[in-house]
Amino acid sequence: MADVKKIAVIAGDGIGPEVVGEALKVLKKTEELYGYQFETTHGLFGGIAIDEKGTPLPQETLDICKAADAVLLGAVGGPKWDNNSKELRPETGLLGIRKALGLFSNIRPANVFDCLKEASTLKPEVLEGTDLIVVRELTGGIYFGEKFRRQGAHGEEAVDTCVYNVVEVERIVRQGFEIARTRRKKLASVDKANVLETSRLWREVVNRIAPEYPDVELEHVLVDNCAMQLLRRPSSFDVIVTENMFGDIISDEAAMLTGSIGMLSSASLGEGAFGLYEPVHGSAPDIAGQGISNPIATILSVALMFRLTFGYHEAAQAIEDAVKSVLDAGHRTGDIAVDKSKAIGTTEMGDLIVAAIKK
């Protein structure tokens, strides 16, 4: 009997349900083609959960996620809940779910589709062959360190502390090496070891672990240099692993190489194979309900789930190839269309991709 994979499906708000709907069609198609079995369970999360259950992250949704092998998330938020108190804001649920599921890394691929090179602000020849992944530590560093105000010699001062321990660094760095192993086997560890003590510890740990991965080529890159090289030679990067704040900035920079937010997938991982997969974009309230959102980021999040959680590499490749072939054939949703009058809708894009998935 086939191995049944349990997927918690959390559509969320705004365009979330639309784009997740298309991703579910992709799951179904791979079941038919590859004989996979997926058991999907839907949960409420975000604004809709506030409306129906009085909290952005109901316990039953968390239970569904914990019982699953992976979570597929749409997006949450919208103007309706923007003025709510902190505990009744959809975004509070996002932090809560990551914490409750022990997700300590965020994975963001940035690959440039040849036919969309024109959509980027960089020259096409610079972008040629760009296909990288940023692995960002998510639960430590300066965002989570002690913060306070005090009176200093020149009046009020603010202090943010940055703390990393060996265990936190080790687990994320190993993830970086492991992911590099499944790709072009190049790892760039990004730090600021010429200035920061946390970065010096980071680099020590990387160097200690590196001999366990002799097949992976390692380079240390200072974060300021990395920011420059991403714009100069993005195609030379394969996997970038870095701490929380550097990763926050670097992953947004890398995202912009690709030109459109509607194309970007992401994963948050913890120990083991479990992961939460979602598009990078938000709930896009400005276009919600119109059937014009781009479902590709969410569909590519399914491909990422196949690679990182299920090890279904062949099917992941088939999904990515299908997206590429549909784009190559000239089909575009409004966000990536040059001629907006020829743009197709969410469902049409999803259907074309599903039809293009071949074994």
Under the binding rule (CB under 6 A), the answer on residue 303 touching ligand NAD is no
Closest of 330, 222, 358, 338 to residue 348, by C-alpha: 330
Rounded to the nearest whole angstrom, what is the least distance from the CB of residue 51 to ligand NAD in the complex?
14
Subset of residues 193 to 252 that bind ligand NAD, contact rule: CB under 6 A: none
Question: Would you say 277 or 312 has its CB closer to ligand NAD?
Answer: 277
Assess contact for 276 and 45: CB atoms under 8 A. no
3-state DSSP helix/strand/coil percent for the chain, to nearest 5? 50, 20, 30
Report how many residues bind ligand NAD under the rule CB under 6 A: 22
Tell me, yes or no, if 191 is annotated catalytic: no
Tell me, yes or no, if 248 is annotated catalytic: yes
Q: Rounding to the nearest 10 degrees, give the CA dihedral for residues 237, 115, 332, 349.
A: -70
Under the binding rule (CB under 6 A), the answer on residue 258 touching ligand NAD is no
The residue count for the chain = 359
Determine which residue in the list 75, 97, 254, 326 makes contact with ligand NAD, applying CB under 6 A.
Answer: 75
Tell me, yes or no, if 252 is annotated catalytic: yes
299: helix, coil or strand? Answer: helix
Closest of 75, 72, 66 to residue 38, by C-alpha: 72
Subset of residues 324 to 353 that bind ligand NAD, contact rule: CB under 6 A: 335
Determine which residue in the list 39, 286, 314, 328 makes contact with ligand NAD, applying CB under 6 A.
Answer: 286
Determine which residue in the list 221, 284, 319, 327 makes contact with ligand NAD, applying CB under 6 A.
Answer: 284
Under the binding rule (CB under 6 A), the answer on residue 77 touching ligand NAD is yes
Q: Which residues are registered as beta bridge partners of 160? A: 147
Give dist(CA 269, CA 177) in Å, integer: 14
Under the binding rule (CB under 6 A), the answer on residue 111 touching ligand NAD is no
Under the binding rule (CB under 6 A), the answer on residue 61 touching ligand NAD is no
Assess contact for 56 and 89: CB atoms under 8 A. yes
**Site residues (vs ligand NAD, CB under 6 A):** 15, 19, 75-78, 91, 94, 261-262, 278, 281-287, 293-294, 297, 335
